Chains A and B, each alone.
Chain A
């Protein structure tokens, strides 16, 4: 079972974002870096799947890949601390858009593959494009489901199939109060949403393994894109305050009405 998980290095911003003096980028001088919450769950899901395969006597490995600056190796090592085995860093000198990113990833997937499963986060917390997983699937001619909150792999074919027959995937998500499930054969692309699992935290031994992990690096050249950023700005926000439903027990009717509107009451 070979799984490719793709992640993107993003700054850990607080409630208010600060831009550099020229307004061109986020000022990251006092910020740490991580990957988006959906991607954390994707890495966790990949590791869990491989652990399950190994528990049944099979073999598997997780390769984690990122497009980003050299420092993005930190995010790859974070994934190794959680259980990924291989790291690929496609070095870029600026943020790439979804089309170019997908092409680069698909290219690597072809070269390093075949992969049984390609996992992505549903969308990156910063750019929120929603597209990379889907575009990669198209480029590799693979089925794709997105926003998945539950993923199960079952062996395909009849009981007693020889080792080597690939499992099918059963993926579920919820949309507007309804559960949608999808069946697809592997290899496939799945983008997951936070909540599909509770990501583990790295153990100390895991962290120490991560330090020694070898990062396979490749520098990519910028090709030019149709979408370009002109400027960034931080919107002025009034101080958020919760909508007051009422005081004391007198607030209960409003509370019940709210719960109803949220669809939580039968």
Chain B
């Protein structure tokens, strides 16, 4: 094997976290296979994004053991164009493996690449080795990681996305005898006409409507709120985030809040970025309604409540103490 090409993404500070993990993964693959090299592909306006950004990316690439850093100048995001460019760069480098983090963009681009070339693309890998020129052994996640699959791929070139939650980002232990900052080499792809017909127009995120079903933030109260009055601070917190109020079934049964606010199996199923479960123990039927939340914070006096096993973060305490204090601090920030 000669080269592993990694598609990376960046923000204003440099490579994003998932890309560093993808590079770590790629390095592992390269090292285990006759010390191939890791090449990185950035698609975007990096050179004009400022010398600082280019420098940051170059440094990070070096820290992560990258051998060559390629930039495809491109404005914006068009998945087919990105895939085309990535594929052509991979061909020009004779890369045996093309890798991207399993982010929405990474997965999308790699899928397009596989569709363009007719090759298999294997998603959510976290371990890979090569047993022959046309034989790869892959370990990948199914069911979001609840099931692990060992698979065989018969292919000359492997197209993979990485299950980044399984790969901690790791820079190289000893600096390679190489520059501490890589130069960005520009690569000009040959795009076809239709490659940019589907292109993203970016705009800052809008606060959606505050309907429970579409809210980005849901502040939800359960029996632990104690009574109707306790929901005042929940309403205020939800309003602060431009979000919506949710409740558990117990709350509607007690008549504190209307049925329309109920989150759960027989209520509304919500998919917010943040779900704050305040004074909610975490009944199964309730969790069924909020388990798709990106981040869940639980506030409860009971550290052993079922919600504690499902939430990402927890505060053990009385809702009526914690929420007013939180609101005060948030308001003081302006």
Residues of A within 8 A of B (CB): 13, 15-17, 26, 37, 97-99, 102, 123, 125-131, 134-135, 137-139, 143-147, 173-184, 194-195, 197-198, 225-235, 239-249, 251-253, 255-256, 258-259, 262, 264-265
Chain A residues, CB < 8 A from B214: 195, 198
Contact pick for B317, options A98, A145, A249, A262, CB 8 Å: A249
Q: How far is the CB of B42 from chain A (nearest CB, A)?
A: 16
Expressed in whole angstroms, the Cα–Cα distance for A242 and B138 within the complex equals 31
Which A residues are CB-close (under 8 A) to B322?
A: 248-249, 251-252, 255
Could you tell me the distance between the alpha carbons of A95 and B118 in the complex, rounded to whole angstroms?
A: 19
Per-residue contact bits, chain B 295-316, to A (CB 8 Å; 1 contact, 0 not): 1111000010001111111111
**From A229, A239, A249, A264, contact of B274 by CB (8 A):** A264
- New contact pairs (14) apart from A146-B79, A146-B111, A227-B152, CB-CB < 8 Å: A123-B107, A130-B107, A135-B115, A143-B198, A180-B202, A182-B199, A182-B201, A226-B120, A230-B150, A233-B147, A240-B310, A244-B314, A251-B322, A265-B333
Interface footprint category on B: 35 or more
Chain B residues 189-215 with CB under 8 Å of chain A are 194, 197-206, 213-214
For residue B154, which residue of chain A has the nearest CB? A226
Q: What 9 pairs between A and B have smallest CB-CB spacing?
A: A242-B314, A180-B200, A248-B317, A138-B115, A195-B271, A249-B325, A198-B213, A242-B311, A130-B107
A180 touches B142 (CB 8 A): no
Q: Which residues of B contact A (CB under 8 A)?
A: 11, 16, 77, 79, 102, 104-105, 107-108, 110-112, 114-116, 118, 120-124, 137, 141-155, 161, 194, 197-206, 213-214, 217, 241, 268-269, 271, 273-274, 292, 295-298, 303, 307-318, 321-322, 325-326, 329-330, 333
> In the bound complex, what is the Cα–Cα distance between A137 and B111 (angstroms)?
11
Q: A179 to B205, Cβ gap below 8 A? A: yes
Q: A251-B322, A255-B326, A262-B295 are in contact. Are A179 and B206 (CB under 8 A)?
A: yes
Q: Can you list 13 A-B contacts with CB-CB less than 8 angstroms, sorted by A residue number?
A: A13-B143, A17-B147, A98-B114, A130-B123, A138-B116, A174-B205, A179-B206, A195-B214, A241-B308, A242-B298, A244-B315, A251-B315, A264-B274
Chain B residues with CB below 8 A from A146, complex form: 79, 104, 108, 111
**Within 8 Å CB of A226, what residues of B?**
120, 153-155
CA distance in complex: A235, B142 (Å):
11
Question: CB-CB < 8 A to A232: which residues of B?
Answer: 142, 147-150
* A180 and B201 form a contact (CB under 8 A): yes
- The complex places the Cα of A131 from the Cα of B205 at a distance, in Å, of 26
Q: What is the CB-to-nearest-CB distance from A195 to chain B, in angstroms, rounded to a whole number? A: 4
B318 lies within 8 A of A227 (CB): no
In the bound complex, CA of A209 to CA of B149 (Å): 39
Cα of A212 to Cα of B155 in the assembled complex, Å = 45
| A18→B108 CA distance, assembly (Å) | 31
Cβ-neighbour of B326 out of A182, A194, A256, A264 (below 8 A): A256
B150 and A131 within 8 A (CB) = no
Cα distance A60–B217 when bound, in Å?
A: 35
Q: Is the CB of B152 within 8 A of A255?
A: no
A175 cross-chain contacts in B, Cβ below 8 A: 104-105
| B243 vs chain A, min Cβ distance (A) | 9
Specify which chain A residues have a CB less than 8 angstroms from the CB of B311 in the assembled complex.
242
The answer for the CA separation of A227 and B149 in the assembled complex, in Å, is 12
Task: Determine the chain B residues whose CB is within 8 A of the CB of A99 once the complex forms.
Answer: 114, 118, 120
Closest to A143 in B: B198
